[in-house]
């Protein structure tokens, strides 16, 4: 069973860049589609974007200008960079993997536990 | 404003059958499959129904899903106290070129 674990700073200053890493274990990152999803405190889920193992990416249009998702295949990790953050970016950030190889359609069968990022000075 | 519309709350007593609805449009639910997630407090979402009506391994068969046109629904029969959670529908949107969620439905077991 693949395991995912998010890591990164819990506090980011406004206007700076939020960087998170998702580490994969008990599975290969060289296949499947890998996603980031976030959840502001007390609110619903929001898809941020995904990267297919080939390196192809897709981003939420509302965040596209500030987001980069990249793969680090040798280290079995993928990362999220969100630039110019504001308080509105405060959220629980999850990484997830699609259930079926070859599909990037939000059928997430494996999730990390989530990491809370607070944007504050 | 979520792209998919769900009722904010639902409730039922133990043993009852509860249905949660999810309404979308031609660009998402109408054209693509719907997935349902259960989120218990303080935990990551868990996939309970995929591709409209498929229950992943380990999900009780009390959970079922269906889709018709631009609407989908999640049914939970034989309601149990452990089913109390937030439920989200999600689907790919061809116009957005990304995944959209419903706002979530908080299910209370009375």
DSSP letters for B72-106: EEEEE-S--GGG-EEEEEEEEETTTTEEEEB--EE
Q: Is the pLDDT of residue B1 over 80?
A: no
Q: Is A108 in contact with B47 (Cβ distance < 8 A)?
A: yes
**What is the residue-level pLDDT of chain A in tens, covering all 121 positions?**
899 999 999 999 999 999 999 999 988 888 899 999 999 999 999 999 999 999 999 999 999 999 999 999 999 999 999 999 999 999 999 999 999 988 999 999 999 999 999 999 9
- Inter-chain touch B101–A60, beta carbons under 8 Å: no
How do residues A20-52 score in pLDDT, each as one tens digit? 999 999 888 888 999 999 999 999 999 999 999
Q: Are B96 and B3 in contact, with CB atoms under 8 Å apart?
A: yes
Sheet holding B63-68, edge to edge: B18-23, B71-76, B63-68
pLDDT surpassing 80 at residue B51? yes
Cβ B22 vs Cβ B37: under 8 Å: no
Length of chain B: 110
Q: Has residue B62 got a pLDDT over 90?
A: yes
Q: Which of B43, B48, B51, B98 to mutate to test the interface with A (most CBs of A within 10 A)?
A: B98
User: For residues A24 and A96, what is the distance between their CA atoms, to the nearest angstrom?
Assistant: 10
Q: CA neighbours within 13 Å on the CB side: how many for A66?
A: 14
Contact A71, A34 (CB under 8 A): yes
B35 in reach of chain A (CB within 8 A): yes
User: ∠ CA A11-A15-A19 to the nearest 5 degrees?
Assistant: 50
pLDDT of A28 reads 85
DSSP letter at B5 equals B
Interchain CB contact of B8 with A (< 8 Å): no
Q: Rounded CA gap, B13 and A30, in Å?
A: 46
SS3 A32: coil
Per-residue confidence at B2, pLDDT binned at 50, 70, 90?
confident
Question: In this predicted structure, what is the pLDDT of residue A30?
Answer: 83
């Amino acid at each position: 069973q693949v395991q995912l674990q998010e890591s990164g700073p819990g506090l980011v200053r406004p206007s700076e860049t939020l960087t998170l890493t998702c580490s994969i274990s008990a599975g290969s990152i060289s296949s499947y589609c890998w996603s980031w999803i976030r959840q502001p405190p007390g609110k619903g889920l929001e898809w941020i974007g995904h990267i297919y193992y080939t390196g192809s990416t897709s981003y939420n249009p509302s965040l596209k200008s500030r987001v980069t998702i990249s793969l680090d295949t040798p280290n079995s990790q993928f990362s999220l960079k969100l630039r110019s953050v504001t308080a509105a970016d405060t959220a629980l950030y999850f990484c997830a993997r699609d259930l079926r190889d070859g599909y990037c359609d939000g059928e997430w069968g494996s999730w990390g536990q989530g990491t809370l990022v607070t944007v504050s000075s | 404003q979520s792209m998919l519309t769900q009722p904010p709350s639902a409730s039922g007593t133990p043993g009852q059958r509860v249905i949660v609805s999810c309404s979308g449009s031609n660009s998402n639910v109408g054209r693509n499959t719907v997935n349902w997630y259960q989120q218990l407090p303080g935990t990551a979402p868990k996939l309970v129904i995929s591709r409209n009506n498929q229950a992943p391994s380990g999900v009780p068969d009390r959970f079922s899903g269906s889709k018709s046109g631009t609407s989908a629904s999640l049914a939970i029969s034989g309601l149990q106290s452990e089913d109390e959670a937030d439920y989200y529908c999600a689907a790919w949107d061809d116009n957005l070129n990304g995944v959209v969620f419903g706002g979530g439905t908080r299910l209370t077991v009375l």
